[in-house]
Structure 1
Amino acid sequence: MKFYHKQLQILLLSALLIFGSSCKKFLEEEDPSNLSPDTYYTLPEHAETAIAAAYARTRFIGEGAGIFVANFSMLEVVTGTARTETGQNSDLNNLIGLQYNGDNLLVRNWWIGLYSVIAQCNLVLDKVPAITPMDEIRKAQVLGEARFLRAWAYFYLVRLYGDVPLISTTQTTESENFLPSRAPSEEVYNLIVADLTQAEEAGLPWKDASGRVSMGAVKSLLSKVYLTMAGQPLNKGASHYVLARDKALDVINNGGFRLFDSYMDLHSLTTENREEHIFEIQYLATVAGNPMQQLLLPNFKDVSAYSDEIGTTVPTRQFYESYEEGDLRAKDREGFFYTSYYDGGNGPLKQLNAPYIYKHFDIVANGTLGVEGTTQSDLNWPQIRYADVLLVYAEAQNRADGSPNAGAYAAVNAIRERAELAPLAGLSQTAFEEAIWRERWHELCYEGITWFDMVRLRKVYNEATNRFDDFAGHAFPDNPTIKLSEKNLLFPLPTTEIRNNPNLTPQNPGY
């Protein structure tokens, strides 16, 4: 059972940490109208409520960004692998056309959402240590979970915006650093590494089927951080490829994770937070349902129980057709895509004449043959999968040691075997590296990962040539007039944030 069902339904709906509404379940004598962070954190239950609130705030990724759009779309449409079937959201259209600026609502929502997670984690880290009596083992775990979530948020921020304010303590209007300046990216990465390193010592279990942060999640994220630091823009190189290799290998050898046998398990309610799913954003319809199903459906082709089918984020045909012949990931309703589905969600099968994303398709909510959908989605949203860890290891090992070893081949070939593709063998270091990049594009698509690979590698997959172009100058295949430039390596800081805090200047180059 997801721990959100037990805790968030009771705890978060009271909005106790920020808004001061009813908290009678947690306080015996306090007047709820007088609650503040200074008076609230007195019982172990308060620690649990506070960390639950931090988890809840990660769900900003699925929150709305104007008509027919949620925040997750930003990281997909700028890759050139996704398009939209509705042109009614100007902010999304501007992202697709690479014409966005600091006024873009999605750009602003990512900034606000990530700092909201950080603010809640800072409260936990500042206030929970003083709670007594509290089981010290559980207290250490709560603090470890908070450090992971803060690192998770800063890892997004530094890759999206570059130099960003580094806020590691609770802020109020009286805080000396209430209008902070931007910290160099390397300092942000140092905090991320420090948080994750401390979280490794928090006594977390290797796996946690409830959806909480686990040791596996901590070490997996740290391997991804090291791999990113090895590449652009920090260029830490060999030392950090070694760190990424070793951390990913630790997860592979000791975590007890495995690839699912079937791609259907990637979007099954029965396999959430298990085996391949190392860390996910949690959804439960009775608390906060997954709001992204309608946005991923074809634009009003009547393939689900939902009355609204938007088509906000759908694959480009060029990317869909770039999969190798026989790749199971491109097979209709078995891999990551579907080109046919049931009329109304539960009627006769019909052809759709275009590919759509099946990787995140909630069969229970949408319906299937002979079974009407519920229109209530509990499906989690993936953040770290074991497949990603395998590919991190393979890429990092190849760069750290100068050539791929048997373990690196085994890691990538496990992914290819599931896709029913021939194993890789006998490749040079350069050829193996490109093969890993190609697997990352095809295996990790539509999980908010591809854009960050483009930025750290300064490379973009070219579907027409099956090779990699330089980032600057790469043209999107479905619209060759749209080309990436150096300025697109970072998103602009939100205009409203700069207006409210002049210390954030200068704006990122090109905006």
Structure 2
Amino acid sequence: MKFNFKKLRICLLLILTITASSCKKYLDEERRDNFNTGNYFTTASQAKTFVNGIYANLYMFQNGDAYGESPFITLELFAGHTTTLGQSVNNKQVINQSTSPTNPGFETVWSNSYAAIANANVALKRIPEITMPDADKKKLLGEVYFLRAFFYYHLVRLYGDVPLITEPVTITSETLYPERSPVAAVYDLIVADLKAAKDSGMPETDQTGRASIGAVRTLLGSVYLTMAGYPLKKIENYALAAAEVLPVLSDYTLFDKYDYLHDNAHKNQGELIFQINYLVGIKENAIPQLTLPFNLQVGSYGDHLGAMIPTDEFVASYPAGDLRTEERQFYFSSYPKDKDPGTIIQFGEHALYKYFHVESALGNGKSDENWTLLRLPEAMLIYAEAQNEADGSPNSTSRDAINAIRNRAHLAPIGALSQSAFREEVWQQRYHELAYENKAYFDMQRTHKRYDVATHSFPDATTGKNEQDVTFKEQYYLWPIPQREMNTNPKLTQNPGWQ
């Protein structure tokens, strides 16, 4: 259900609401005009429909055009382990670190995040007034707290100090043109929201595409881990991160095949803690087309855009014998030609089989693979890193977590390691296991380290060249405030280096 109502600067844009069951709960769209929050929040059904619309803002990660200017690609280009074979000038400027505040990706994340936050603020204000079972109301509010925290978490990491808006905004509100709030204050709200979500009575796990306690704990663990690094350096949060994600490790199970990470049959199951949900005919995406080699007829897609291609150097950085680098595991370099399976196309580079969608490739080219935001290996790696930092050395649970990831990759287990050696093992597994899942750039931000694929070491991020032949600039630890927002709101100031 799509409502049109007046845009109030960064706060009120568009409310998408959806009705359905199972994974379709935030997929079906239906238009309703003359939306009015005063008479809309009267029933439990209306409240659930409104909250479904907040989930829909998660689609921002795959928003973009035919040139591949999607935020999920932009985040990987900043990390330095990706090339682009496509035609996007903006993407190439990101790689060369010559981009500007007018890059459309910066605006996409900002505007969609604040649209979701605006709707979350309305929901938190109005849902408590609705007559409905207390347990249902509490659970629904828990989902809203989780989503508001999720969007603020992306905003504060990408833009630094950002406007902190926690109440519905009207045309006469003081926060219609807000100032930026300190990073610490934004994190305080994120933590408070996630604690509220954790106490909401949501299920421990969920296979319908909605938030769960497992998702809340994993996100909060990530938040604590980030707060322990730059810019806040609250090292006491390492212990909080480890304690937060520990219960998650026993609530989910690793898949025994990497194929299950990107097929339709295993959506929202196994190790998949929280995903953006898609369904053919309702909401589709171009993830396979964007991650296939440029202009090679692999699968029945109309476009093959080559917008995000792993560097050969990064693929070669995996240990010898690592299953993840074998053909059609995380990567692939050849595939049968569409409608001509006897002809094998050699790519000439590695592409992401991790995001190849067999169902649409062999079907009508309409992709509805889910995009994973949180999965069990990330929770395992959060625990291992945080526990090692908090206690000064890894414990058996941390070693077991790393060895489970290594065992699935057909790598030998690690033995006793020092704190520093274990830290680098965890970091390397974050790069190799969570490759191209929008984690690497955020790891660079919080550690100020980069992964040097030639030496398998972690030097300062602003020293030495990456596989893109670029030396990371300190300016690029933060994105710029989008130029459109700067032009509209005189109270906003720009991030250093982007003026």
User: TM-score over 0.5 for the alignment?
Assistant: yes
- Counterpart for residue 495 of structure 1: 483
Residues 407-486 of structure 1 aligned to structure 2 (within 5 Å): 407-479=397-469, 482-486=470-474
Deviation of 1:507 (Å): 3.4
2:465 is equivalent to residue 508 of structure 1: no
Say which SS state the counterpart of residue 492 (structure 1) adopts: coil
Residues 355-366 of structure 1 aligned to structure 2 (within 5 Å): 355-366=350-361
Unaligned runs of 5+ in 1: 22-32, 368-372
Deviations 1:319-373 (A, max 9, x none): 011111110111111x210111111176133322210011111110012xxxxx2
**In structure 2, which of residues 154, 158, 174 is the aligned counterpart of residue 176 of structure 1?**
174
Aligned equivalents of 1:146, 1:242: Cα separation in 2: 27
2:375 is equivalent to residue 375 of structure 1: no
| Residues 4 and 52 in structure 1, CA contact (< 8 A), matched pair in contact too | no
Change (3 A) 1:92 1:499: same
Change (3 A) 1:6 1:465: closer
| Residues 254 and 270 in structure 2, CA contact (< 8 A), matched pair in contact too | yes
Residues 276-315 of structure 1 aligned to structure 2 (within 5 Å): 276-315=271-310
Say which SS state the counterpart of residue 502 (structure 1) adopts: coil
Say which SS state the counterpart of residue 356 (structure 2) adopts: coil
Q: Which moved more, 1:346-355 or 1:107-116?
A: 346-355
- Counterpart for residue 266 of structure 2: 271
| Residues 265 and 271 in structure 1, CA contact (< 8 A), matched pair in contact too | yes
2:111 is equivalent to residue 112 of structure 1: yes
- Counterpart for residue 347 of structure 1: 341
Deviations 1:41-71 (A, max 9, x none): 1111111111110011110111115634322
Residues 134-213 of structure 1 aligned to structure 2 (within 5 Å): 134-213=132-211
Say which SS state the counterpart of residue 308 (structure 1) adopts: coil
Deviation of 1:7 (Å): 5.6
AA of the residue aligned to 2:195? T
Aligned equivalents of 1:6, 1:104: Cα separation in 2: 32
Say which SS state the counterpart of residue 227 (structure 1) adopts: helix
| TM-score of the pair, normalised by structure 2 | 0.93
Q: Which moved more, 1:407-416 or 1:62-71?
A: 62-71
Deviations 1:409-463 (A, max 9, x none): 0001100000000111121100110111001000101111110001101000001
Say which SS state the counterpart of residue 458 (structure 2) adopts: strand
AA of the residue aligned to 1:495? Q
- Counterpart for residue 251 of structure 1: 248
- Counterpart for residue 22 of structure 2: 3
Aligned equivalents of 2:405, 2:66: Cα separation in 1: 37
Aligned equivalents of 1:288, 1:431: Cα separation in 2: 44
Aligned equivalents of 2:339, 2:417: Cα separation in 1: 45
Change (3 A) 1:222 1:68: closer
| TM-score of the pair, normalised by structure 1 | 0.91
Say which SS state the counterpart of residue 79 (structure 2) adopts: coil
Deviations 1:133-188 (A, max 9, x none): x1221111111001101101011111001000001111121112211100000000
Say which SS state the counterpart of residue 367 (structure 2) adopts: coil
Aligned equivalents of 1:221, 1:346: Cα separation in 2: 44
Deviation of 1:8 (Å): 3.6
2:229 is equivalent to residue 231 of structure 1: yes
Aligned equivalents of 1:446, 1:115: Cα separation in 2: 25
Aligned length: 479
Aligned equivalents of 2:174, 2:197: Cα separation in 1: 28
Aligned equivalents of 2:378, 2:228: Cα separation in 1: 17
AA of the residue aligned to 2:102? D
- Counterpart for residue 62 of structure 1: 62
AA of the residue aligned to 2:301? Y
- Counterpart for residue 370 of structure 1: none
| Residues 258 and 276 in structure 1, CA contact (< 8 A), matched pair in contact too | yes
- Counterpart for residue 30 of structure 2: 13
Q: Percent identity?
A: 39
2:220 is equivalent to residue 222 of structure 1: yes
Change (3 A) 1:2 1:356: farther
- Counterpart for residue 6 of structure 2: none
AA of the residue aligned to 1:215? I
Aligned equivalents of 2:340, 2:202: Cα separation in 1: 42
AA of the residue aligned to 2:95? I
Aligned equivalents of 1:424, 1:83: Cα separation in 2: 32
| Residues 284 and 290 in structure 1, CA contact (< 8 A), matched pair in contact too | no
Say which SS state the counterpart of residue 350 (structure 1) adopts: strand
AA of the residue aligned to 2:248? V
Aligned equivalents of 1:90, 1:353: Cα separation in 2: 23
Deviations 1:188-211 (A, max 9, x none): 000000000000011000111001
Deviation of 1:119 (Å): 1.5
Change (3 A) 1:125 1:492: same
Deviation of 1:506 (Å): 4.1
Change (3 A) 1:46 1:409: same
Aligned equivalents of 2:39, 2:447: Cα separation in 1: 48
Say which SS state the counterpart of residue 305 (structure 1) adopts: coil
Aligned equivalents of 1:345, 1:6: Cα separation in 2: 35
Say which SS state the counterpart of residue 374 (structure 2) adopts: strand
Change (3 A) 1:243 1:356: same
Aligned equivalents of 1:352, 1:398: Cα separation in 2: 41
2:259 is equivalent to residue 240 of structure 1: no
Aligned equivalents of 1:291, 1:13: Cα separation in 2: 22
Say which SS state the counterpart of residue 77 (structure 1) adopts: helix
2:75 is equivalent to residue 78 of structure 1: no
Aligned equivalents of 2:205, 2:74: Cα separation in 1: 30
- Counterpart for residue 101 of structure 1: 100
